[in-house]
Amino acid sequence: MVTLGQLVDDYFRKLTLSGRSERTIAHYRDYIENFGAFAAEHGVKSTTPATRLDRELLQRYQVHLAERPSARASPLRRATCLRSPCVAS
């Protein structure tokens, strides 16, 4: 059983190995940590099986992002960085 935390760790290992800049990785980590906090508030923690991630949770997160102002990145940019770890499962 792969957990959400394992998926995230694998994703960042892949980014590092593919030569992404430290700055890019730091931004992605920030975005995914924000999603992780949101997911935890909705019962999906880092130790939760990755299969518990579903379209409904991701859509709720997109709505959450759209409803709050963000000076650092658009909701689309934040949601886009989540696509890869979720697809990796």
pLDDT tens, 36-62?
999 999 999 999 998 888 999 999 998
Mean model confidence pLDDT for the chain? 83
In the chain, how long is the greatest CA-to-CA distance? 37
pTM, 2 dp: 0.72
- At 88 the pLDDT is 43
> What is the CB neighbour count within 10 angstroms for residue 30?
14
Classified as helix, coil or strand, 89 is coil
Of 7-11, 48-52, 57-61, 73-77, the poorest mean pLDDT is in 73-77
Tell me how many domains the chain contains. 1
The percentage of residues in the chain with a pLDDT greater than 90, rounded to a whole number, is: 60
Which residues form the domain of 38? 4-87
Alpha carbon of residue 57 to chain centroid: 11
Percentages (nearest 5) of helix, strand, coil residues in the chain = 70, 0, 25
